[in-house]
């Protein structure tokens, strides 16, 4: 049995738990550190703890899936807050050389984010000053990038002149200096791929847009990868919290010598060409990126495919893409004319009846599944016909999660590869995703949030009322299971409990 070691991006379930649940479908061993070693939100993990754990676990491992952000900065949020010098970061990267010297056969699959610059004023995951200057810092990057290739409008030119007056110089300097350190770390990691120390690298674009700091850095890194002839081993595309899962699928395919063929079908004619919210490229390009990153490829026919990826897509781009709290009647008018949910459901039914493996990527809305689609699937008894499902947060998060699940599960559907526990663990993860992405993110989160003012909490701070909110969410999710999941959840969701890992409503940790 091959041993795979995994160092997550942070301690949240999407990073620390999902890859282990997908690995549990397989016969591979996945070793991951206990959550207490991974820091907590803005508190970074101790480098010494990570170093000691990696030295111990990789001594007899075959593969290491490694978050560079966790190794160097102590997690995703600390990567946006740290005061480390480039020399300190370089020294921490030097641990990879020690791991390889200790175990020359170790293959390293790494991922390292391009530091984001979100478009809103909030310090929940950013430096304190981002609560006041976040949007202005985002606009500074946007306009700086845009004017490099296009002429700014008169209004934009005036804004560009005003921004340095709106953002204190010390704050902008702090932000830009940290970006420069992180950018140079990314360049160093690409050079480690060139030297052969790192075998495969994914650089995800977290909370990305058409213009801005991230696109500027992305282009520079892609040029370097092309010059080094590494475009097969250095992949850059939108994503973040799903990369641990997709790289496990990549490692799985390498170990099993498996290259799944995937047929992709959309709910909207416009779907392949739309640009999802928080991303910078067409949906179909992102689908191809996630398939490639996981070791699969896009085929031409459902007949020969190892699984069919049904993509419930938005019919409109960027800011007009719906968010899951948006009720159907309040969506952009394109949702009423350019998405055919009835036909999409009919296709799912027909494909499953022909015994095709069907995986559903629900990216029609951000931050939760599309209730209009899901309740229709429930009504027609088709939820249990799905083999994999995701519909959470960004398009990239959803695609990477459902594709990872489907890649691993599809292998064990083949004659000769059957594994006694595989179907059970695959169904378990499917149920988990349905309850979280549809039940919690789309329905229960909004219901519970309405009670926060009377309980004395806010959306981003339920620390003082954590127990009451967790119990409320648990009760509402149990009712959701009864209303929509029927027999699928009757036994398997017994003992369902919900916790809020960062004392906020944005994410949930489930126990089934």
- Radius of gyration, alpha carbons of the chain: 22
Structure tokens at 477: 């999710």
Structure tokens at 248: 């496990």
Q: What is the pLDDT of residue 24?
A: 97
Q: Is the dihedral of CA 264, 270, 271, 273 positive or negative?
A: positive
Q: Which H or E run contains 474?
A: helix 466-480
- Which residues touch 450 (CB under 8 Å, ≥6 apart)? none
Q: Let me know the angle formed at the C-alpha of 468 by 465 and 471, rounded to the nearest 5 degrees.
A: 145
Q: What is the pLDDT of residue 494?
A: 79
Write the DSSP string, 36-99: GGS-BTTBPPPHHHHHHHHHHHGGG-SEEEEEHHHHHHSSTTGGGT----HHHHHHHHTHHHHH
Q: Distance (Å, rounded) from C-alpha 337 to C-alpha 268?
A: 9
Q: Distance (Å, rounded) from C-alpha 62 to C-alpha 441?
A: 37
- Which residues touch 231 (CB under 8 Å, ≥6 apart)? 222, 225
Encode the chain (512 residues) as per-residue pLDDT tens digits.
Answer: 799 999 999 999 999 999 999 999 999 999 999 999 999 999 999 999 999 999 999 999 999 999 999 999 999 999 999 999 999 999 999 999 999 999 999 999 999 999 999 999 999 999 999 999 999 999 999 999 999 999 999 999 999 999 999 999 999 999 999 999 999 999 999 999 999 999 999 999 998 888 999 999 999 999 999 999 999 999 999 999 999 999 999 999 999 999 999 999 999 999 999 999 999 999 999 999 999 999 999 999 999 999 999 999 999 999 999 998 778 999 999 999 999 999 999 999 999 999 999 999 999 999 999 999 999 999 999 999 999 999 999 999 999 999 999 999 999 999 888 998 999 999 999 999 999 999 999 999 999 999 999 999 999 999 999 999 999 999 999 999 999 998 888 877 778 999 999 999 999 999 98
Q: What is the pLDDT of residue 493?
A: 79
Pairing state between β 297-298 and 261-266: parallel
Counting Cβ atoms within 10 Å, is residue 7 exposed (0-12), middle (13-18) or buried (19+)? buried
Write the DSSP string, 122-170: --SSS-TTHHHHHHHHHHHHHHHHHTTTSPPPHHHHHHHHHHHHHS-HH
Chain mean position to CA 272: 19
Nearest CA-CA partner of 73 in 51, 46, 52, 94: 46
Q: What is the pLDDT of residue 12?
A: 97
This prediction's pTM: 0.96
Q: What is the pLDDT of residue 113?
A: 97
Nearest CA-CA partner of 507 in 5, 36, 12, 1: 12
Q: How many other CB atoms are found less than 10 A from the CB of residue 101? A: 9
């Amino acid at each position: 049995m091959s041993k795979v070691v995994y160092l997550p991006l942070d301690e949240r379930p999407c990073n620390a738990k999902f890859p282990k649940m997908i690995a549990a479908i397989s016969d591979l061993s996945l070793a991951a550190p206990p959550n207490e070693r991974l820091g907590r939100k803005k508190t970074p993990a101790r480098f010494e703890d990570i170093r000691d754990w990696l030295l111990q676990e990789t001594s007899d491992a075959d593969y290491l899936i490694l978050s560079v952000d966790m190794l160097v900065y102590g997690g995703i949020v600390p990567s946006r807050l740290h005061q480390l010098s480039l020399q300190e970061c370089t020294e921490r990267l030097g641990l990879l050389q020690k791991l390889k010297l200790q175990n020359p056969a170790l293959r390293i699959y790494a991922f390292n984010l391009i530091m984001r610059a979100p478009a809103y004023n909030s310090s929940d995951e950013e430096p304190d000053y981002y609560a006041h200057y976040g949007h202005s810092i985002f606009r500074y990057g946007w306009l700086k990038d845009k004017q490099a290739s296009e002429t700014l409008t008169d209004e934009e030119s005036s804004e560009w002149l005003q921004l340095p007056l709106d953002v204190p110089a010390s704050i902008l300097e702090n932000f830009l200096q940290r970006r420069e350190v992180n950018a140079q770390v990314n360049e160093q990691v690409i050079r480690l791929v060139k030297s052969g120390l790192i075998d495969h690298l994914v650089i995800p674009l977290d909370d990305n847009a058409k213009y801005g700091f991230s696109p500027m850095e992305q282009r520079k890194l892609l040029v370097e990868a092309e010059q080094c002839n590494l475009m097969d081993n250095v992949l850059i595309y939108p994503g973040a919290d799903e990369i641990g899962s997709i790289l496990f699928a990549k490692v799985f395919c390498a170990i099993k010598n498996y290259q799944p063929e995937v047929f992709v079908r959309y709910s909207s004619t416009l779907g392949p060409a739309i640009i999802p919210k928080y991303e910078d490229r067409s949906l179909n390009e992102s689908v191809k990126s996630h398939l490639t990153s996981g070791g699969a490829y896009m085929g031409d026919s459902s007949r020969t495919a190892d699984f069919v990826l049904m993509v419930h897509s938005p019919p409109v781009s960027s800011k007009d893409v719906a968010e899951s709290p948006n009720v159907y009647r309040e969506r952009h008018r394109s949702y009423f004319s350019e998405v055919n949910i009835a036909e999409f459901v009919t296709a799912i039914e027909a494909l499953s009846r022909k015994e095709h493996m069907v995986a559903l990527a629900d990216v029609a809305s951000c931050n939760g599944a599309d209730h209009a689609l899901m309740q229709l699937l429930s009504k027609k008894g088709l939820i249990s016909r799905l083999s994999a499902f995701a519909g959470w947060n960004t398009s990239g998060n959803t695609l990477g999660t459902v594709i990872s699940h489907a890649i691993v599960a599809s292998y064990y559907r083949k004659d000769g590869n059957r594994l006694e526990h595989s179907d059970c663990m695959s169904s378990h993860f499917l149920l988990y995703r349905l309850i979280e992405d549809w039940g919690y993110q789309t329905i229960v989160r909004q219901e519970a949030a309405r009670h926060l003012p009377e309980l004395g909490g806010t959306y981003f701070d339920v620390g003082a009322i954590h127990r009451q909110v967790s119990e409320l969410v648990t009760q509402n999710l149990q009712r959701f299971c009864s209303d929509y999941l029927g027999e699928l959840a009757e036994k398997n969701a017994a003992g369902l409990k919900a916790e809020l890992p960062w004392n906020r409503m944005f994410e949930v940790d489930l126990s089934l």
